[in-house]
Chain A
Amino acid sequence: MKNFGKYIIFISSLFKRREPFKTYVNLSIGECIKIGYESLFIVAIVSVFMGAVTTIQTAFNLVGPLIPDYTISLVVRDMTLLELSPTIIAIVFAGKVGSNIAGELGTMRISEQIDALEVMGINSSSYLVLPKIIASILMYPMLVIMSAFLAILGGYLAGIFTEVIAGEEYIYGLRYEFNSFNIPFALIKAYVFAFLVASISSFQGYYTTGGALEIGKSSTQAVTKSCIAILIADYVLAQTLL
């Protein structure tokens, strides 16, 4: 509870003694490249294989004489939009971006770079953390959209190559009884998860004390705590919005 209180105070400190708006725009653009662009490859790889594996496993488990083939793509579509793309990719995102944020801020803390900012009269938490949260909130939903597209494409390619489903059947299944609320639901999850990953990782990194060993611990804790927060938020959002 003490840590949670400290986290809330940390988040509120981001909005005090801010620098000019232009400063945050420039910093956020740089962070968008680091957080978004540099995550494209890993998100793409994970998404394609996630869709492909979902197709094959669904086919293995579900297909029988009474179940039509297009059920496979229907399952792939709904699983991708509701869970796989926003949540599993969030865990990948926590592993890549979260550990990076915690490591970067932890190193800045122990090498006194954060103290240097404070001595200059700059609110270091706002200056360093706010652009990361903004960039994360801007970029992660885009990654989720891309991931959903690639996962469905991966499922399509796996279905065709392994001949578990025909292309037309797959497309038909994708369109069959589509609930359009799944898309805003996935995006709401994406915004919440992006905030959680960036803020929790920043919090862990910002309050690192000690040396190189503690930076490693902060990174690990950032990923662990982000994953737990993602799973709790996932449950709460599913319970309240669906």
Chain B
Amino acid sequence: MVEIKCINKSFDKKQILFDISGKFLKGKTNLIIGASGTGKSVLLKCLVGLLNPDIGEVLFDKRNFTNGSKNLITEIRREIGMLFQGGALFDSKNVEENIMFPLNILTKLNPKEKLEKVNHCLKLVGLEDMNSKMPAELSGGMKKRVGIARAIVNDSKYLFCDEPNSGLDPLTAIKIDNLIQKLTHDLNTTTIVVTHDMNSVMEIGEKIMFLHEGKKLWEGDNKNIFKSKVKELNKFIFSNRLMKKIKN
């Protein structure tokens, strides 16, 4: 479980996050949703340690990630897998080398064991026999899948996904969402997904945190999101015609 306590973050005297607290549950896909510019990605960066919150703490299974010792921070970081918006694959390495990278750096497995793990992860994300492809040869969806494979190859306990289906067609986006949810359940990871895609919310939102202008306004799941009385959340959900039609 990942817990955040009173996270505040400012840039150049402009406050982006205001007192955000909450819990992200193990074995569930936890979503952070909100419109663009509400601080979702900043919160995610605070969670994974790419940014330090001005005030507040991030706890990974009760271990203090924000104010912990350097060794503890490194230990926790090595339990984190992250899927970046663009995949963030290393351009100079092929698919196999990209996925094997965390194993080369963080483990002492022999080459055969590493290759077995890589092939297992490739199978999980449905990209068998793509080992020798370079990132430039992959489609957007494939890059995300390779990014997911790299994020889970080191048996990560925590999986973070930053806009996993941005730039993808609806069909591929749903496939990626379902893949993330399946991996979360199968591997029992604490998965945190940042998204503004309502399809994702409905598809995989087992626990949802809604941010608006840097503040947490609502928390719940995809079953009760439509029952919310929060004006900003309703405006966000029913922003397109299709959702408005469903509402009516």
Contact = CB atoms under 8 A, between A and B. Distances in A.
Interface string A113-134: 1011011111000000000000
B91 interface: yes
A19 B82 CA distance: 20
B158 to A, nearest CB: 10
B109 interface: no
A46 B70 CA distance: 48
A38 interface: no
B84 interface: yes
Nearest to B162: A112
Interface string B77-96: 11010101110111100000
A169 B242 CA distance: 90
B204 interface: no
A146 to B, nearest CB: 27
B49 interface: yes
Interface in A110-169: 111-113, 115-116, 118-122
B106 A119 contact: no
B15 interface: no
Contacts of A113: 88-91
B246 interface: no
B88 A120 contact: no
A120 B49 contact: no
B208 interface: no
Contacts of B160: 119
Interface of B: 48-50, 70, 73-75, 77-78, 80, 82, 84-86, 88-91, 101-102, 105-106, 160
